[in-house]
Amino acid sequence: MNEKILCVEDEQLILDDIADELEDNGYEVIKANNGKEAIEILKYDYVDLILSDVMMPLIDGYKLLELVRERLPQHDETPFIYLTAKSSREDEIRAKSLGVDDFIRKPIDYDLLLATLKARLARNRKIKETNESRLKKIYYSMKEDQGFKEPLSISIVAKSHDFVSPIESALNQLGCLVEFISESHLKVRKDSIQQNDLCFMVYSKIVHYYLSGMINQKTTHNRGRTVLMCNGQTDENLKSAFTEQGIGTIIEHPYPPVEIFKTVLDATRNKAR
């Protein structure tokens, strides 16, 4: 799968030129004309890197970076690079204090831009792989130390199997027994879900009503063993009630593997007790 880059630029010709250059070099590009458009995109989509102009209407590059870091935790580790014609010391200090990863000066040197993107993306991949590897080692070591050989049984509830196949693959690598359940069969598969050690549920209207029923009935069914996979459309009141009632945990889109592995570790510890 090609790496996805969000390019934010208010000058349409420059935006189109950058997108063409990146696409010619194998990247998938999402275009936004200002910071407000970028925020709306980032609420619902996952990107591997954000490339943004600084001086823009509505929401400029500084405010965009601030909002991403403060309000969109799913993009905490997403590299953020500024495109800027401004190069004063004060501008760089402000950008660095907000957590920008790099600068590309205008007019754009595309060789430099491509080299910078390649380096940043490679570094981010390495960090993710290292974190995942460490968690896997902890998981296997804990199972061995505790003599726990029975695999976790896990159900995944979603509208489409394709949507959760990466999660299923990661869980299978850990030796878990994974069962996919279509959300349309949720009501008739309650017994199967109850019998599993963990249940990952991708938020949707059907899942919303299912979980609301659990909360309203104060049921103990799957209490503490449900993992709600949230996106930008997830009802905030439901999320609050979900955690307050102790029914389970929440993982935000784009569902980082590290968070999934942590959840599996906790479930393994609980089962071993």
Average pLDDT, integer, range 88-109? 83
Handedness of CA 5, 8, 12, 14 (dihedral sign): negative
| pTM exceeding 0.75 | no
Q: What is the pLDDT of residue 124?
A: 82
CA atoms within 13 A on the CB side of 31: 16
Q: What is the pLDDT of residue 77?
A: 80
CA 27 to chain centre: 19
Class of 4-126 in CATH: alpha beta
Q: Which amino acid is at 252?
A: E
Indicate the range of 12-26, 132-146, 174-188, 257-271 predicted with least confidence.
132-146
Domain ranges in the chain are: 4-126, 146-272
Q: What does the alpha-carbon distance between residue 191 and residue 242 come to, in Å, rounded to a whole number?
A: 20
Q: What is the pLDDT of residue 29?
A: 96
Q: For 172-231, how does the pLDDT look when each residue is reduced to its tens digit (9 = 90+)?
A: 877 788 889 998 888 778 777 778 888 899 888 888 888 888 787 765 555 558 888 887
Q: For 68-86, how does the pLDDT look when each residue is reduced to its tens digit (9 = 90+)?
A: 888 887 787 889 999 988 7
Task: Please answer whether residues 193 and 181 qualify as being in contact, where contact means their C-beta atoms are separated by less than 8 angstroms.
Answer: yes
Q: What is the pLDDT of residue 272?
A: 61
Average pLDDT, integer, range 105-134? 85
Please state which architecture CATH assigns to domain 146-272: 3-Layer(aba) Sandwich (3.40)
